[in-house]
Amino acid sequence: MATLTIDGRSVTAESERTILEAARAAGIADIPTLCWYPKLPIVGNCRICLVSVEGEAKLLPACATKVADGMVVHTESHAAVENRKGVLRLLLERYPGDHLMNGGQQEPRNEFERYVVRYGVVPTPLAQRDLPLRHGDERPGDAMIRHDMSTCILCTRCVRACEDIQVVGVLDVGQRGEHAEIIVGADGDPDKAGCTWCGECVRVCPTGAIFEVMPRERFAPEQIRRPARTVRSVCPYCGVGCQVDLHVVDEKVVRVTSPDIELDTPNQGSTCVKGRFGYDFPQHRDRLTKPLIRKGWVKEGGRWVWRGRTGANRRGGPWRTIEGEGQAVKPAGPPRSVGKTVRDLPLLERLDLDIRDRVATPPSWYEPFREATWDEALELTAQEMLRLKRAHGGDALACFSSAKCSNEENYVMMRMFRAALATNNIDHCTRLCHSTSVAAMQRALDTSAASGSMREVEHAADVIFIGGANTTESHPVFGAAIKRAHERGARLIVADPRKTELAGRADIHLQIQPGTDVALFNAMLHHVIDQGLENRRFIAERMRDFEAVRESVRAMTPEVAAKITGVPAEQIREAAELYARGPNTSTLWAMGLTQHANGTDLVTSLLNLMLACGMIGRWGAAMMPVRGQNNVQGASDVGAIPFVYTDYRSVKDPAVRAEYAAAWGVPAESLSLAEGLMVTEIVKEESGVRGMYIMGENPIISDPDIAHAEHWFQALEFLAVQDLFLTETARYADVVLPGASFAEKTGTFVNTERRIQLSHRAVATPGQARGDLEILIELSNRLGLKTSFKTAEDVMREIAQVTPSWRGVTYARLEGAGLQYPVPTLDSPGTAFLFDDRFPTPDGTGQFVPVQYAPPVELPDDQYPFVMNTGRQLYHWHTGTMTRRAAGLDQREPTPIVEVHPADARELGVQDGDLVRLTSRRNTMVSSCRVSERVARGQVFVPFHFREAAANLLTNPVLDPYAKMAELKCCAVRVEAAHLALAD
């Protein structure tokens, strides 16, 4: 530590800190900076941060000068101020700053202009300048970002942010001298240069030369200029859990930024394209603003009675994805290739390509409904749910909670169904996400969450292993952190059938055949044992039944695995040795492993490898299932799954039941001791479920074999849906309750690293829409369950009361970066990583679970020769309900595509943008071809965001025996040019 004096005040700082860092940390000096920015490498080229240091003959750059004991610094000395004025005058020679002259508008518009005003520098009138302004024409950009280089001061922040934070490198400095300017790589096309439109350049630009377009297009100039109210929130998309600041004017979110300096937040100031530009969906014209009741429900004698159509057509005919049939003319080429499909495609007709009309809810979907009051809608919902309970028992009811809703909302939902309706039939989309991970981790380690943190993967891992995770597209901010880790020297192993961005960067890419992961991981473990690389001390002290696993992998040599996986045996050996030698290997995986009918075994085989090598329980050796949705971890943590209460406490344990019954004020015997049904079990004829309540889920798109799912939901006696939009599922509801978006609620969310974060309400719900928590509280009371919560904070107090690992959680403590649970006491700082000395099993040891390779349940053959894989795209998320109503995102990727290998495309006679028909053993659909080497020969990739080409029409509903996960990643299909298919 060094003690120095800055502007007359004593400051103590670490000796590796710079003067700038020490001053900012102490909060005693606002030293101006232009080229410097948090997280960026120091270049010290703008010279505006020069300060006086006693004993030094010249001014020193505060951003690049380390502190020293006894140093005396003057940040606003005469020499320092005169230097800053000179720098600003020089930069103003090429800057359009006439509005800052005397008599003009004095309001500074950006960071650079604030310094100009602060130091009283007056720009030279344009007519008297020696240097011309830079070209001021806005460069062709995008629906989200554009450039106006007339205001660029060449600080190079944007270039370095793109290269060093996002590790993309789209921008550079071109030309020299007075002709120097920021340029876009490749031929000036950001897409060809690899731009991900993350907005990092917008964030760091001090002059607005790179700016966001959407506020200008959506709001009047006076609204944009008006001071905005800033509210801290959590991004509503993936499981990274980025903190964002919502800028609010006139009860509308006008832009999204992120906290810059709070480096303990998951995103450390960055966002992805969805987080920064996908914020406008809550203001889409499709928002539900009043409750809806299906026509046919009438009130007679004080009770609601159905007087509408009966039988199979009660809720209308079969689903049509968009009004009219057909598809588009062939576009110019990628990435905007356009295709359109419906389930029963009659004739190809020209499609109206207006994005807003194409994405909007079709008017005919509203026709079966009438607007209702809240009293009518909630009265009907409560009446029918209680009627079904009385007539058929609580298990005739089920609910889907939501990974997009807060912990408090999910808790009140599961509390309502368990305590008021006496059923454990409550689940959410974790069933189609990481349920197999939870099943595997529970039986091996008795845990259900990640052991470590994203920042330890970035800063401390020596080797990063990624299985079945397209992190840079599905979790872009974490993906950038992994790229930064690779740049600093961490080795990267990727096991994935597709050549994703990280696979292209990897030291080793294990490009396996889909569904053969068990063979790969068992062969890697075989080689680890054969070479004596297993961690024998860890195994002896902390694990059980290693001999059983040793025996189970004995026959799976790398040569045998090579024939199964398609990965060369030598590459398997190389990956195994790199993984085992670490010394700190972090293990990451996502839905490429989990969404299989044997997903539990796939994850188990990876855990066996990880545990045999001892790669857990220390900083840098993280076990991390990368969660898909922003609160899928939290919804599970607070009990929105059918077999546990909060903290994964079993519903079958009478003692646990008694504790929750006491907290909820109900008799213990009113809570069921039987485990409930899971999502994929509920949507079956034999489930016995007659009525459902769905909050923020869209199973008619997300469930496998959605033609069957649609038929099942149509046959329900009663269906209530609580959502933002009239989704494909909500259109079959008896009651539709308009809820709140992320920007319209206060609550907490848990990200993929167990971090509980607090999101604040920024704007009001539109029209008569209500907060989700408000709806659930009133409905609980109507169902006879006393529910006295007034705020989300009240709910969190009860969650903390019944959840041992959250006992120390309060809203006050969550302000800022949040807390990583376990947080067992009010003075606990949270837990950044777990299992340093024991596992949460009764005896503290982990369990090896032998698994054997079995081929995928559906293999290609002559009739269905391709293997179809499904997943996310960068610009969309889940079923597209939100991102396809975010204007900028939908313009980036407006239509469904299928990735086809170039050689396969040639054989099929199709090119980019051509229509292709995909047919599985269950259904058929048409999409447009995107020729890509990211997929291997004989494989195709279909994103699942598009209702007009729904991937889950084709997928296989067979279930994992443990977690009841469906087979979503390995489906045999036939691919044909669409015109040939129609001719047939």
**The pLDDT value given to residue 335:** 29
Specify the residue for token string 């880790």.
485
**The pLDDT value given to residue 353:** 29
DSSP 282-310: GGSTT---S-EEETTEEEETTEEEE-S--
The bridge status of strand 292-294 relative to strand 735-738 is antiparallel
Helix 558-565 / helix 569-581 crossing angle, nearest 10 deg = 110
The alpha carbon of residue 519 and the mean position of all alpha carbons in its chain are separated, in whole angstroms, by 30
**The pLDDT value given to residue 313:** 61
Which residue intervals of 741-863 are DSSP H helices?
772-782, 792-802, 811-814
DSSP 634-652: HHHHTT-BTTB-GGG-BTT
CB atoms within 10 A of CB 329: 10
For residue 316, the one-letter residue type is: G
Find out whether 401 and 635 touch, Cβ atoms under 8 Å.
Answer: yes
Tell me which residues of the chain have a pLDDT lower than 50.
Answer: 318-358, 982-984
Residue 882 contacts by C-beta under 8 Å, 6 or more apart in sequence?
236, 237, 278, 281, 724
Q: Please list, residue by residue across 47-67, b when 16 or more beta carbons sit within 10 angstroms of its beta carbon and e when fewer do.
A: bbbbbbbeeeeebbbbbebeb
Going by the DSSP 8-state scheme, the letter that residue 225 receives in this structure is: H
The alpha carbon of residue 42 and the mean position of all alpha carbons in its chain are separated, in whole angstroms, by 31
921 class by beta-carbon count within 10 Å (0-12 exposed, 13-18 middle, 19+ buried) = middle
Instruction: In whole angstroms, give the CA distance from residue 799 to residue 811.
Output: 12
**The pLDDT value given to residue 818:** 95
Residue 949 contacts by C-beta under 8 Å, 6 or more apart in sequence?
339, 340, 341, 896, 925, 926, 927, 942
pTM here is 0.92
Find out whether 582 and 884 touch, Cβ atoms under 8 Å.
Answer: no
Instruction: In whole angstroms, give the CA distance from residue 786 to residue 780.
Output: 7
Sheet of strand 2-6, all strands in order from the earlier edge strand to the far edge: 9-13, 2-6, 72-74, 50-53, 60-61
Instruction: In whole angstroms, give the CA distance from residue 315 to residue 308.
Output: 9
Find out whether 902 and 334 touch, Cβ atoms under 8 Å.
Answer: no
The torsion angles phi and psi of 13, rounded to 5 degrees, stand at -145, 155
| Cα-based distances in Å from 304 to 307, 405, 417, 550, 615 | 9, 30, 22, 64, 60
Instruction: In whole angstroms, give the CA distance from residue 143 to residue 889.
Output: 8
Instruction: In whole angstroms, give the CA distance from residue 527 to residue 522.
Output: 9
Instruction: In whole angstroms, give the CA distance from residue 127 to residue 25.
Output: 43
Find out whether 594 and 434 touch, Cβ atoms under 8 Å.
Answer: yes
Which residue intervals of 446-516 are DSSP H helices?
454-460, 471-474, 476-488, 501-505
The bridge status of strand 543-544 relative to strand 508-510 is unpaired
